[in-house]
Amino acid sequence: MILTTERMILRPFEEKDEEAVHNYAGNPDNVVYMIWGPNTKEQTKQFIQDTKKNWEKESVTNYDFGIVLKETGELIGGCGIYLNDTRKEGMLGWILHKDYWKKGLMPEVAMELIRFGFDELQLHRIYATCNAANYGSYRVMEKCGMQKEAHFRKNRYGRDGSEDIWYDEFYYAILDEEWAAR
């Protein structure tokens, strides 16, 4: 399964990606607002194995993709769409190596994931959540035409920057009919 955008190729992770994945997943600066990480090398290895197993399932629900820059062939991040039990709703997730932030790359990726979700997986609704302090992430949601549906106040406990606190969460979504009418 391969998806393409103007500047990137989205394809399943492979063992050879271990170093490139660890360059962002193992870097504390890169995962400040992620609910996981920074990962150990062992966790990075396990992540790649887990995504491979998910792709082999008869009915795939976790569509994880590595993000490869067409120009250089480098793997610069990861993204995915994760279906619920009804297979009618999907959640988006994304991370880019910090050297590639602020170039408009993730909105390009997210638009392709949304197209894939609606046009190919026939989803009804696609959503994404983030730490309310993660401006870069909710701007990606806005740039893709997702609407803010909720601001949960201090509903998540975990690492925010370097300390564990209760933090706010934003929730954005887009419907199939909005996608069709865009």
Ligand X SMILES: CC(C)(COP(=O)(O)OP(=O)(O)OC[C@H]1O[C@@H](n2cnc3c(N)ncnc32)[C@H](O)[C@@H]1OP(=O)(O)O)[C@@H](O)C(=O)NCCC(=O)NCCS
Enumerate binding residues for ligand X (CB under 6 A).
30, 33-34, 94-96, 101-107, 130, 134-137, 139-140, 143
Q: Is residue 100 a contact partner of residue 109, using CB atoms and an 8 Å limit?
A: no
- Specify the residue, 53 or 153, whose C-beta has the smaller distance to ligand X: 153
- Specify the residue, 122 or 155, whose C-beta has the smaller distance to ligand X: 155
Helices of type H across the chain: 18-25, 41-56, 105-115, 135-143, 176-180
80 vs 19, 127, 151, 160, CA distance in Å?
19, 12, 23, 22
- Closest contact distance (angstroms) between CB of 81 and ligand X is 14
Query: Alpha-carbon distance 11 to 63, whole Å?
Result: 10
- Specify the residue, 67 or 83, whose C-beta has the smaller distance to ligand X: 67
- Closest contact distance (angstroms) between CB of 134 and ligand X is 5
- Closest contact distance (angstroms) between CB of 59 and ligand X is 26
- Closest contact distance (angstroms) between CB of 124 and ligand X is 22
Q: Which residues contact 49 (CB under 8 A, 6 or more apart)?
A: none
Picking from 144, 143, 149, 152, the residue whose alpha carbon sits closest to that of residue 172 is 149
- Specify the residue, 53 or 139, whose C-beta has the smaller distance to ligand X: 139
Residue number closest to ligand X, CB atom? 136
